[in-house]
Structure 1
Amino acid sequence: MAPTVLAGLFPLSVCLLLTSGPTEAGRLLVVPMDGSHWFTMSSVVEQLIHRGHELVVVMPEVSWYLKKSLNFTAKTYSLPYSLEDLNHEMKIFADHQWKIRDKNLISLLTSSSSKIFDYLFSHCKSVFDDRKLVKYLEETSFDAVFLDPFDMCGLIIAKYLSLPSVVFTRGGFCHYQDEGTQCPSPLSYVPRALLGFSDTMTFWERVQNLLFHMEEHLFCHYLLKVAVDIASENLQTTITPYDLHSHVSMWLLRTDFVLDYPRPVMPNMIFVGGINCHAGNPLTEVSPTPEQRRIRPSVLYFSL
């Protein structure tokens, strides 16, 4: 009975959060992720503002799409690199993704393209180095943190401020989301991200799925080391990615079974649709090149 009741309460909580009228509006701290991640989150932010909620958005001064708005309070922090530096590293990363066919964490860690992750995961150091901003966050009363977990900064801030957190995500490429939510993820039926397998894997594909999962356990902590060190330093205790993901109150999953497959989820995980990109113009009638036809969908997903 209890799980059924909880499953009904979480969607109700989301409805109350997004509904205006008799429900009292809240003050939310928003920690977004730049790039294509912001296209979808910005539409939710606009609706929250429209329904009377007060939003404070923490954003870097250097970004592709994060811009100040008259409709929310923007709190910016400086970064040790320029937009040109960011564009340069992103180009290296994108070019590398088009060249390699097999996706694995070892290639990300050993290639020059992995520097882009150091840039993204170091954002939170700049946040906590801005003592004026940190003091403002500590002294301001927020009801919850609305965040994108990709660069882990929102997860760190939510835990630092001891606030409930609502995660808005397409999904991660490491195992921490499944383990942090205690969500069953049987390797015989749920393919790991980047592999491009279906939910009806052959025996050899299941073996590959198991090996990739073991690879995640061996190397993911190296990939996230910068963010984890920042969290441990500012929380003054040893922090793991599992600690940060298990702190989340609610997961809003912007996924679609056209791209993913049915899998067990916990009561605080809610599917909100598969929108993942900015609405674009109609495609031109240009046939893809032979090289583009060989690109697996997982490559396009990961480059986002």
Structure 2
Amino acid sequence: MKLVAFLVCFMLAFAAVGATIQPREPGWSGSLLVVPMDGSHWTGVKAVAQEMGRRGHKVMVVIPEVSVLLGPGKYYTTRTFPVPYGKQQLDELQARNAEVMESKQLPLLEKISTRISNMRKFVDLQRATAESLLLNQELVDFLKKQNFDAVLTSPAVPTGAILAYNLSLPAVYMLRGLPCGLDSTATACPSPPSYIPRFFTNNSDRMSFRQRVLNVLVSTVEPLLCRLIYWSMEGVASRFLQRDVSVAEILRSGALWLLRYDFSLEFPKPLMPNMVLIGGINCAIKNPLTKEVEEFVEGSGEHGIVVFSLGSLVSSMPKEKAAVFFKAFSMIPQRVLWRYTGEIPDNVPENVKLMKWLPQNDLLGHPKAKAFITHGGTHGIYEGICHGVPMVMIPLFGDQADNVHRMATRGVGVVLSIHDITAETLHDALNSVINDGSYEQRMEKLSAIHNDRPMQPLDLAVYWTEFVMRHKGADHLRPAAHDLNWFQYHSLDVIGFLLFIVLIVTLVTFKCCALCWRRCCRKLQKRKKD
């Protein structure tokens, strides 16, 4: 009996210890707040929000009442807030994106003025959205009561980061990169301009002296560019938090950075422990083609199809420019699926199918996909890489020129200018990427490298988001560089101290030598006198 009692007690104690060492019960679920940015940034954030909700977590997405792409989903709830603009203003802003496709090249000063005007309108819109959310006291109080475990947001427009900072919640950031290098500053990640190309320079990681001069100059003015881009958001943040604060300070508090790239596209560069690469996150989201689209694709026979999309923000173009594409498509044997909402001419070629919305990833994953005409957005680039489809790239604005430059250096696509494009140049580019086997071979190799990974990007993003939620942050990944000032980070105080010691030693040595020299001279003079 005593032996039985001992064994029972031993098993109970072992079970109790086992229960204490389990990090979480199997059915654990958390609560995630999502504050997305409108536009293409929503694609990756939505994928994580949907998957988190599908896995049983409570996910709430806070969105403005009026938006371009934001909306409800099957596995998350939405909470809307009023904004001081309507659908018409968003449509006008989108129409400005299509202006870059005008055939005529504007004079330099007029081009700069137009870009500044467009940027100002975009910044004003984002500031109005941020104020509508952050200064909505009723909504903020409601969110405080929900006891969220973390916030998922895009730091390109730091509304969600500011809200997380105020709610004292760990923030998970998802981004491609920030235009003025603010991501490197906020993460204390080394970013030497000697081999890390800056945005908008079209440099590679192997630069000539002239390119390195440009790269250094751009890196020098990046802090000023950040102030110009984010000064209005800093004003909103300071009013909301009731103290002076910078966007960089807020972003430094982020727990984890989910970066929408990997080194199949990006040039190799340093990363910090709290940076996770999730390039190609949207490739895992697959749906069957509709019967109509499937029949059109299968009807292409041995020639296959060409997929054409200029992204979520540009779905139309001037009539004269569209005519160039229609003419080029009439010259190829492949069938073309084109996301197009502009004016439709009477003589649309029979091999062209126009669609208001394109199942881009599903089409690129089809065996008959032969080429992809893209503007060079990150999501489209990675969908092309995932499925190994060569590209004809036509960058329009933003980081697209840098993205297509990276692809061109790998020999997997052809770059064309939207201003100089003709039916003949487009036909020749399509003919090259489809019929020149070297493009397909290099793209297949790049695709194999990209897809050879232990965990899919979406699963990786979900894992790390759950990690932050379970552990209320990721402080163990935060480098001590955040606690150092500029002098300490670059060891300028240490270098100054060592130089001072060297100077003292040099002076003492010089004085000693001078003293010895004078004494020797005195002895010599004394001997001469004797």
- TM-score scaled by length of structure 2: 0.48
What secondary structure, in the 3-state scheme, does the structure 2 residue paired with 1:163 have? coil
Alpha-carbon distance in 1 for matches of 2:230, 2:189? 21
What secondary structure, in the 3-state scheme, does the structure 1 residue paired with 2:191 have? coil
State the partner residue of 1:52: 56
Shift of 1:72: 1.9
Shift of 1:246: 0.3
Shift of 1:110: 6.2
State the partner residue of 1:9: none
Q: Is 2:32 the counterpart of 1:28?
A: yes
Query: Which one-letter code corresponds to 1:73 in the other structure?
Result: T
Shift of 1:170: 1.3
Shift of 1:284: 8.5
Alpha-carbon distance in 2 for matches of 1:72, 1:165? 18
Shift of 1:138: 1.8
Shift of 1:96: 4.2
Q: Based on CA coordinates, which of the two structures has the bigger radius of gyration?
A: 2
Give 1:117's match in structure 2, choosing from 120, 123, 148.
123
Q: Is 2:350 the counterpart of 1:250?
A: no
Alpha-carbon distance in 2 for matches of 1:287, 1:28? 36
State the partner residue of 2:452: none
Shift of 1:107: 4.0
Q: Is 2:210 the counterpart of 1:215?
A: no
Shift of 1:54: 0.3
Q: Which has the higher contact order (CA 8 A, sep 6+)?
A: 1
**Residues 84, 128 of structure 2: 8 Å contact kept:** no
Shift of 1:147: 0.9
What secondary structure, in the 3-state scheme, does the structure 1 residue paired with 2:184 have? helix
Q: Is 2:337 the counterpart of 1:237?
A: no
Shift of 1:234: 0.7
Q: Is 2:192 the counterpart of 1:92?
A: no
Shift of 1:212: 1.2
What secondary structure, in the 3-state scheme, does the structure 2 residue paired with 1:111 have? helix
Q: Is 2:169 the counterpart of 1:163?
A: yes
Query: Which one-letter code corresponds to 1:111 in the other structure?
Result: I
Alpha-carbon distance in 1 for matches of 2:267, 2:234? 30
**Residues 147, 168 of structure 1: 8 Å contact kept:** yes
Q: Structure 1's 213 and 96: CA in aligned 2 closer, same or farther, altered over 3 A? A: farther
Alpha-carbon distance in 2 for matches of 1:49, 1:298? 32
**Residues 186, 248 of structure 2: 8 Å contact kept:** yes
What secondary structure, in the 3-state scheme, does the structure 1 residue paired with 2:265 have? coil
Q: Structure 1's 254 and 295: CA in aligned 2 closer, same or farther, altered over 3 A? A: closer
Percent of paired sites with the same residue: 34
Q: Which consecutive unaligned segments of at least 5 residues does structure 1 have?
A: 1-19
Q: Is 2:162 the counterpart of 1:62?
A: no
State the partner residue of 1:300: 400
Shift of 1:44: 1.4
What secondary structure, in the 3-state scheme, does the structure 1 residue paired with 2:165 have? helix
Q: Structure 1's 62 and 40: CA in aligned 2 closer, same or farther, altered over 3 A? A: same
Alpha-carbon distance in 2 for matches of 1:63, 1:201? 41
Q: Which consecutive unaligned segments of at least 5 residues does structure 2 have?
A: 1-23, 283-310, 313-358, 375-391, 404-530
Query: Which one-letter code corresponds to 2:164 in the other structure?
Result: A
Shift of 1:73: 2.1
- Aligned-residue Cα RMSD (Å) equals 3.1
Alpha-carbon distance in 2 for matches of 1:180, 1:48? 27
Alpha-carbon distance in 2 for matches of 1:119, 1:131? 20
**Residues 27, 54 of structure 1: 8 Å contact kept:** yes
Once the two structures are superposed, what CA deviation does each residue of 1:178-206 show, in whole Å capped at 9, x if it has no partner? 01110000110111112221100111111
**Residues 259, 277 of structure 2: 8 Å contact kept:** yes
Structure having the larger proportion of residues in helix: 2
Query: Which one-letter code corresponds to 2:117 in the other structure?
Result: S
Q: How does 1:101-116 map to 2 (within 5 A)?
A: 107=112, 111-114=116-119, 115-116=121-122
**Residues 38, 68 of structure 2: 8 Å contact kept:** yes
Q: Structure 1's 160 and 100: CA in aligned 2 closer, same or farther, altered over 3 A? A: farther
Q: Is 2:181 the counterpart of 1:175?
A: yes
**Residues 61, 78 of structure 1: 8 Å contact kept:** yes
Shift of 1:300: 2.6
State the partner residue of 2:205: 199
What secondary structure, in the 3-state scheme, does the structure 1 residue paired with 2:78 have? strand
Count of aligned positions:
278
Alpha-carbon distance in 1 for matches of 2:91, 2:194? 39
**Residues 189, 270 of structure 2: 8 Å contact kept:** yes
Q: Is 2:252 the counterpart of 1:152?
A: no
Once the two structures are superposed, what CA deviation does each residue of 1:66-111 show, in whole Å capped at 9, x if it has no partner? 112353221111111112101212322452487889x9xx948962
Q: Is 2:46 the counterpart of 1:42?
A: yes
Query: Which one-letter code corresponds to 1:194 in the other structure?
Result: F
**Residues 228, 240 of structure 1: 8 Å contact kept:** yes
Once the two structures are superposed, what CA deviation does each residue of 1:225-260 show, in whole Å capped at 9, x if it has no partner? 121111111111111121021010011111132432
- TM-score scaled by length of structure 1: 0.81
